[in-house]
A and B are shown apart, each in its own frame.
Chain A
Amino acid sequence: MKVELRGITKRFPGVVACNGVDLSVESGEVHALLGENGAGKSTLMNILFGLYTADEGEVLLDDSPQVCHSPSDAIGAGVGMVHQHFMLVPVFTVAENVMLGIEPTGALGTIDRDEARRRVVELSDRYGLAVDPDATVEDLPVGVQQRVEILKALYRDARCLILDEPTAVLTPPEIDELMEIVRQLADGGRSVIFITHKLREVARIADRITVLRTGEVVGTTTPGESDEQALATMMVGHEVQLLVDKTAPDPGAAVLAVHDLVVDDERGHRVVDRVSLDVRAGEIVAVAGVQGNGQSELVEALCGLRPVQAGSVRLDGADVTGRSPRQMYDAGLAHVPEDRQRDGLIGSFPVASNLVLNQMRSRPFSRRGRIDRRAVRRHAAQLVEDFDVRTPSIDTAASTLSGGNQQKVIIAREFVHAERLLVLSQPTRGLDVGSIQYIHRRIVAKRDEGVAVLLNSSELDEVLALADRIAVVYRGRLVGVVDRADASRELIGLLMAGAVDEAAAVEATGDEEVTVT
């Protein structure tokens, strides 16, 4: 289906999310929509999908103007969307999820399950989705769940498919499979709009690329015309350096020593299984893995936020297993949490308070339990300056800052304290390229000061850019620790997918030392 957006403008109070955006997607085309967070990609697609109504401009589907007031209008018109967060009922089967809302009915209005199942199988076969219609959704890996979402759209006869950041939750092999499926869908005459901020994917899959910046179209190009560097420049608006400058590490003694650590989640499932890992002074060790393989729980356990079932954690030689978050903080741990809005900041508090959130009870910020507001403000003003936090004032509520500046508030607070061990979880998730660069430079600077850095990141690019050593976790186990020099994208990708044997084969050809357990 041919999709055309003409002069779309959408204003929210205080911000123009889309400003006169033109976009045209041909049948059989994979069109990448590239832009940083807040560039207006999602707003634009929500307009196409009927979640928002444009203030100005029109939507044309197959050359006829179309006004969609709700997603069901859009679905009726042949537009399907796979959201970043899946909209599936976990306890239902694939077939039930797919037919949900438009169940085929037999006589007396009973649901015709066989018919639904038959169509699911047929669609799944035609597009090589390889989905079992009778499997329960919660038992399926994330990549397959995503295919169920695609199946849902196809079942509703979507001729234009919008994929919102589809690769964020996938392993490298799953990304490959998704790319194939997308290609097949396009070859079948459907149009696919692929929303992303990852440059590498764009080059692989897109026929054409439209770059958005601050609500406006910067340009439309093709992978042939523009390389990654050029796309990055279009996206950010100025020249960017994609690689982090860093010298070889000069590691000292082990600061963090984890031995046979075992951690369970709330339901008693073993999520970290006998993990042993050292982080030495002056090196960055990255824990790589697809989201949900125990790395979050590992970090929480190290920070005293989650009980340890067995094993030990040592910090500078002292046993700190099972200490409280405050004790860990006092022992020299600084922690940038994964979910900054949930765990890192108090959104309704001013920036100044957030900058001393974990230090308020110590001098000079308080004496005898009384807050010294002058000291707090002075400290805040200094950090805002040092870490280039863009905020109207230090009294501004943290929640009103952009994601990048919120993260800088946390980074500032923790980096000031980080003298021995710095634990970072997804430090640049969802940030714009400029902020990512800045934070990466600060992380490397910390390493060069001799701080031990543990980086938990599901972005392979980030891991490869920063790490001196890479520890790959898969289903709670450490499947390999690889020196950066020996780590190819392929090797790490295979380890992340748990394909240890193949990884060993790859490693053998490289004939370097890798611990694969």
Chain B
Amino acid sequence: MKIGVLALASVLAAWSAAAQQQEPATVGYTAVQAERENRDEPHFDAALRDVRNALDHLGYDTYRYLTSGSIRADYGQEAELELTDRYTLHVTPLSKERDGRVRAEIRVTKERDERDEDGNPIKVNALRTTSRLVPGDELLLGAFDLDQGDLVIVLAVGAEG
């Protein structure tokens, strides 16, 4: 009886302490193909309206929408998403800080032309970063070469994440 009650207390305490990290983190992403086409005025695809401010300073004159969505990942678990035929986005939420920021490891891997002994494509980290992200603020990752232009990724941690 006594041990049971003490065990219950421990479980409650652990549950309470972990409550804020139980919810998976949500990371929104938008992949953009940025190019220089010698335009007089920069062009943004209509689908990029929400991220235009984040892209404005980059110096390209053409921004084309590639894909967008959100990744939902448990803390400590890596989630990955293929952005193009060669680039994959990997997100691992590490912890949620007391100030609300989400500490995460983010990787963008690039698939090489060569294959390993088993015939699988060899991937390298085109970028690897660990950051503490304010929910709602944008994190810009680039520039990763594409056949035409560069790949730029806009990330934002969800407010609930």
A binds B: no
